[in-house]
Chain A
Amino acid sequence: MNNRRGVMIVIGALLALLIVTPYASSYVIVLITYALVYSILAMSLDILLGYTGLPSLGQAAYLGMGAYLTAILATQYDFGLGWDFWVVLVLGILVGAATAAFFGLFAIRATGVYFLMITLALGQCVWGLAYRWNSLTGGDNGINLPPRPQFGINLANDVTYFYIVFGCFAVSLLTLYILVKSPFGRSLEGIREREPRMRILGYNTWLHKYIAFVIAGGYGGLAGVLWAHLSGLVSPSDVLLTTSVDALLMVVLGGAGTLVGGVIGAALIVFLRDYLSTMVTWWLYVLGGVYILTILYLPGGLMGLLERIRRRRALSASPEKAEKLKSVVH
């Protein structure tokens, strides 16, 4: 896609969202806020899956770490319910990154199916602690959070909280965009395409992958903090395997390696899970169907579909240009 045009479209769409959302019904506002939180998680996973070629089956673990940290600090230490909300936000990022830094020591060397399995196991470790460590996590019942923080502004107001989440989301998108466009991001793509060659060129591919893993964990932790205050309840089901799998689908559905794709995927899946499920009882068929159809018919995701349509249109519009495009593609 024309780079500058793409960026303008994204900025335009986000501004529109920012302006329009406050006028929506409170239910829709909360739904959009959920979509934004999941978007941060999906983008963090896209750094691994789309840019580095690491399909993680345990991204919910970092969301869980951030969310449980927030809940435990709030309920047991009365911390993070005023201006120190911002401190918790930073702590959430740090705890997500630290967890990933620890997990990465085990996971990074594995490839392909083994990487899937080891991240699944790591995610289950976190889930297992959340589920069984009653004295700390409240076990199966989870932890109910007190009302959202208040510091001059009152986050209990859904619109205000939407602005906060939107801000975090926008900053995440911007910083991740800068990251993937940086030389570091380019070398990640190199690793995705052909790791042995990168190694021969003198890149420390293990370290690159490890750093990407830690960064993804940090953003996952951020999503967790926002998630905890949004839902008001943190429970083991948030850390369940299905959450990690949903995050994967969001990225693949939207289009891996595009950042924005994860956002589109997150919006669609949140809509399916939270909105459709209140309307019809058979929504799981739709969700399952989306999984199956995406895999069978949308290998590049929705962003890939857009790209394909654009290219076809260019082909029919001017044969000359088409030749040029072809030579670029091949």
Chain B
Amino acid sequence: MGEVELNAQFWLIQSFNGISYGALLFLLASGLSLIFGVMRIVNLAHGAYFLLGGYVALSVIGATGSWMLSLPVAALAIAAVGLVMERIFLRPLGFDPLRQVLLTVGFAFVFQQAALDIWGGDNLDINPPDILKNSVVIGELYLPAYRIFMIGMAGVVGLILWLVMEKTRMGAMVRAAVDDSEMARGVGIDTSRVSMFIFALGAFLAALGGAIGGAFLGIYPGLDFEILPIAFAVVIIGGMGSLGGAALGSLIVGLADNFGRALFPEISYFTLYAPMVLILAIKPTGLFGRE
């Protein structure tokens, strides 16, 4: 009897952990998915946005002592970085996947070095407010408040994104550009402006994810390239350019990662990337991607 209870508890806790990790991934990957969907750019600097977001948030906390302030400031600062990168470097490049990839890698290295120079090479941690350090007790389960906060945050951001995409003019333009960029240009949509908006939004979301994830994963050199492929797994599994896909992809990857680590640790990354390969081979637009 006790064993059964333990088992149920194991599944519940692992599911909760997976969902909360998925929530963090959603912040990181939803922007990447939109960038990929609209611009077909494989942005290898996206992990760097995440990392820089965490670092900037840390500095804001250090300077002002306000954790609440650190989230928007970090997100906006990195959004500006993304905006400049898109306008000055990516836009003039035209459509060439390989050159785009290498250009974004170049930036990822430059950001890495800048982060190392400014913040050093130590493992840093963001200290959230005390209220988020407690646990919420439900029955016999202790659920860390911070993980609940992450889930809530992803929910709110997801809702706002959905509203922007479905109800605003800009959102309609983005959807049109995802579906058929050429056609969108044909009917007079300024796809260059859409790209700019999406790229800045993607950087904003990634940095927000980094600022929130900083209290959860820590902030350290190398985190950028560690988290980046996972974000791509989300994008591919969910399908690029689709918010719902990004949400479902995040959930699947978050759960798969958690249960993989718990149940078969030796092949846990393999269980993450092998489905990505299969989906790309069978249905390249992802499980829920727009055709």
Contact = CB atoms under 8 A, between A and B. Distances in A.
Interface of A: 49, 55, 57, 105-107, 109-110, 112-114, 116-118, 120-122, 124-125, 127-129, 131-135, 240-242, 245, 248-249, 252, 281-285, 287-292, 294-296, 299
A241 B229 contact: yes
Contact of B113 (A125, A252, A282, A290): A282
- The 4 tightest CB contacts between A and B, nearest first, are A128-B269, A291-B106, A288-B109, A284-B113
Given A113-B42, A283-B113, A292-B110, 10 more contacts: A55-B98, A106-B280, A116-B97, A121-B277, A122-B273, A124-B273, A132-B268, A248-B102, A249-B102, A291-B107
B165 interface: no
B117 interface: yes
Nearest to A49: B98
Contacts of B36: 113
A290 B106 contact: yes
B277 to A, nearest CB: 5
Nearest to B101: A116
B61 interface: no
Contact of B110 (A110, A128, A288): A288
Nearest to B97: A113
10 contacts: A109-B281, A117-B42, A121-B276, A125-B274, A132-B268, A248-B98, A281-B117, A283-B113, A289-B110, A291-B107
Contact of B232 (A110, A121, A122): A121
A285 B110 CA distance: 5
A150 B145 CA distance: 60
A131 B271 CA distance: 13
A284 B109 contact: yes
Interface residues of B, number: 43
A105 B265 CA distance: 27
A120 B270 contact: no
Contacts of A245: 44, 101-102, 105
B278 A55 contact: no
Contacts, number: 143
Interface of B: 36, 40, 42, 44, 89, 93, 97-99, 101-103, 105-110, 112-113, 116-117, 225, 228-229, 232-233, 236, 265-270, 272-274, 276-278, 280-281, 284
A124 B276 CA distance: 10
Contacts of A124: 229, 233, 269, 272-273, 276
Contacts of A112: 40, 97
| Residues of A contacting B: mostly | helix
Given A287-B109, A291-B105, A125 B277 contact: yes
A133 B98 contact: no
Contact of B99 (A107, A240, A295): A295
Contacts of B281: 105-107, 109-110, 118
B280 A121 contact: yes
A128 B225 contact: no
Contacts of B276: 121, 124
B118 to A, nearest CB: 12
B268 A128 contact: yes
Contacts of A117: 42, 232, 236, 280
A247 to B, nearest CB: 11
Given A252-B102, A285-B110, A110 B269 contact: no
Contacts of B113: 282-285, 288
B107 A292 contact: yes
Contacts of B110: 284-285, 288-289, 292
Contacts of A288: 105-110, 112-113
Contacts of B99: 252, 295, 299
A295 B281 CA distance: 29
A272 B101 CA distance: 20
A109 B280 CA distance: 10
Contact of A129 (B40, B44, B270): B270
Nearest to B270: A128
A299 B281 CA distance: 30
Contacts of B228: 241
Given A106-B278, A118-B280, A132-B265, A252 B98 contact: yes
B116 to A, nearest CB: 7
A124 B223 CA distance: 15
Contacts of B225: 240-242
A114 B280 contact: yes
B93 A110 contact: no
A288 B107 CA distance: 6
Contacts of B229: 120-121, 124, 241
Contacts of B117: 281-282
Nearest to A287: B109
A135 B265 CA distance: 11
A133 to B, nearest CB: 5
Contact of B97 (A55, A133, A283, A299): A55
